[in-house]
Each structure stands twice: as structure tokens, then as C-alpha cells.
Amino acid sequence: GAVVSQHPSRVICKSGTSVKIECRSLDFQATTMFWYRQFPKQSLMLMATSNEGSKATYEQGVEKDKFLINHASLTLSTLTVTSAHPEDSSFYICSARGAGDTEAFFGQGTRLTVV
């Protein structure tokens, strides 16, 4: 299957700083990328959907100025958590889908801890 690489896998940052998470499709062109957040023992919560070259579409309740998403190329999308706070500590997962595909492939996830 297709490979999606997410980096970093773990990050600890200080409150008030920003953290960037990268999501790369290694062997296919990802026309659509999804960013999810998952709190312990809860299901995936879609934060935003991004199409290459377009602005991301954010789900209700997700602050677009806090969670900056850039999908500048067909193989890379980034999520920047700005001015992180302890309540932003979570597991962030990206998934990518190619044009005409139904299946989305997941990255390995990023465990963010804000101290």
C-alpha cells in the first residue's frame, strides 16, 4: 500500500511556543490530506481537510488561526500548532488520499505534549 510519513513522532514543547508537524506521501500524489486529533480512549476527530493548492477547510470548533495547515505540494502538508497550551496535548494524525482514490492512508501520528 501507499506510504505516508509523519514527522516528528513525538514532541514536547513549552507552553506558548509553536510546533510544526509534517505529513508526506512518499509514493503517491496526495490531492487531499486530512488532519485528525485523538484524545486518549476517544475516536479520531477530524480537524481539517486540505486540498493541494487550496486553503484548508476546518471543522466546526477548530480554530484556524491556532492550527495552521499548509498543503503547498502534492506530497507535503504541514500542521502548525501556534501558541501551544497544555490542553493542546494530544495525538495528531494525518491521512492522505490520491485523486480518484477512496482509501486514505495514515501517517504514524505525532504525540504532542505541551508543558
Partner 1 sequence: GQNIDQPTEMTATEGAIVQINCTYQTSGFNGLFWYQQHAGEAPTFLSYNVLDGLEEKGRFSSFLSRSKGYSYLLLKELQMKDSASYLCAVMDSNYQLIWGAGTKLIIKP
> Of 43 and 65, which CB lies nearer to partner 1 in the complex structure?
43
Q: By CB under 8 A, what part of segment 1-60 binds partner 1?
A: 1, 6, 34, 42-44, 46, 49
Q: Is the dihedral of CA 32, 23, 49, 55 positive or negative?
A: negative
CA distance 89 to 17: 13
Other residues' Cβ atoms within 10 Å of the Cβ of residue 111 = 13
Shortest gap between Cβ of 91 and partner 1 (angstroms)? 8
- Residues contacting 106, CB < 8 A, separation 6+: 4, 93, 94, 95
Residue number with CB closer to partner 1 (86 or 102): 102
Task: Give, as ranges, the residues between 95 and 114 that touch partner 1 (CB under 8 A).
Answer: 102-109, 111
Nearest approach, Cβ of residue 12 and partner 1 (Å): 15
Beta-strand pair 90-98/110-114: antiparallel
Q: Which is nearer to partner 1, 13 or 46 (CB)?
A: 46
Half-sphere exposure of 7 (CA within 13 A, CB side): 5
* Residue with smaller CB distance to partner 1, 1 or 61: 1
Residues in touch with partner 1 (CB under 8 A): 1, 6, 34, 42-44, 46, 49, 91, 93, 102-109, 111
